[in-house]
Amino acid sequence: MRNPIYFTALKTIWIKECTRFLRIWVQTLVPPAITMTLYFIIFGSLIGSRIGEMGGVSYMEFIVPGLIMMSVITNAYSNVASSFFSAKFQRNLEEMLVAPVANITIILGYVGGGVARALLVAIIVTLVSGFFVPLQIQSIAMIIATVILTATLFALGGLLNAMFAKSFDDISIIPTFVLTPLTYLGGVFYSITLLPSFWQAVSQFNPIIYMVNGFRYGFIGVSDIQPMVAIAVLLVFNAVFFTLAWYLLKRGTGVRT
């Protein structure tokens, strides 16, 4: 009897989360398309024509996977962070905590909504990129695995941020001071092989390097990181973040007063 209840709760939370961002699609789905179009025009067409090739392909082809991944990271994170904190702020979350719903169900419901938004945005940005460069696919399995694991990871990250946040301003701290620098230094616009050996070694500690390069390998077959290493890193981070989110929610950290 408990499993059907959990499944119904999971489906309800997931549908609620998807309905939330689809209802305001002009704010959630259109801006990433516009932003990435500007990136394609400025970095791809204007600057890329001067750079030429990188990794054996045109600069535009090289940066497209990174730009798609950037939109996935941003949207997965922001969707869960804002939604979970709103539920906590409005005390809707307390109703779920006292209901016969497992903590894992709550986590999966919110994370599922973040992943859904990230994947939808990824599809939109990919379609937009088709107007600028002919897309090629080397490994569809690598593309799917990388984008789902990345979206899940940053959805969990948004959940953790929302747990500790005490105000809406706290939600923007991590994206501004952590995610943005890591993303721009994560090999989106360049190959880390261009860096001096010391900075190449330092870059190995940036997890976004693995996501971008794994995703890029799926599209153009070019990567600074071994694809299986990228998948392994993503799996480890997902396991750690999920365990931490479950533990904190079980303890009521940042949730129960």
Q: In this predicted model, what pLDDT tens digit does every residue of 152-207 receive, in sequence order?
A: 999 999 999 999 888 888 888 888 888 889 998 888 888 888 888 888 888 889 99
Instruction: Please report where in the chains the tokens 């804002």 appear, as a residue.
Output: 82
Average pLDDT over all residues of the chain: 89
* Residue 115 pLDDT class (50, 70, 90 cuts): very high
**Which one, of 251, 257, 246, 250, lies nearest residue 89 by Cα?**
257
CA dihedral 71, 73, 74, 78 (to 10 degrees): 140
Is residue 122 pLDDT above 50, yes or no?
A: yes
135, 60 Cβ separation under 8 angstroms: no
* Residue 118 pLDDT class (50, 70, 90 cuts): very high
142, 218 Cβ separation under 8 angstroms: yes
Q: Which H helix or E strand runs over 58?
A: strand 57-58
Measured CA to CA, the distance from residue 97 to residue 9 in angstroms comes to: 12
What pLDDT score was predicted for residue 244?
Answer: 95
CA dihedral 122, 133, 200, 78 (to 10 degrees): -20
What pLDDT score was predicted for residue 105?
Answer: 92
> Where do the structural domains in the chain lie, given as residue ranges?
2-251
Measured CA to CA, the distance from residue 168 to residue 104 in angstroms comes to: 25
What pLDDT score was predicted for residue 211?
Answer: 95
**Which one, of 138, 97, 73, lies nearest residue 256 by Cα?**
97
- Note the pTM of the prediction, 2 decimals: 0.92
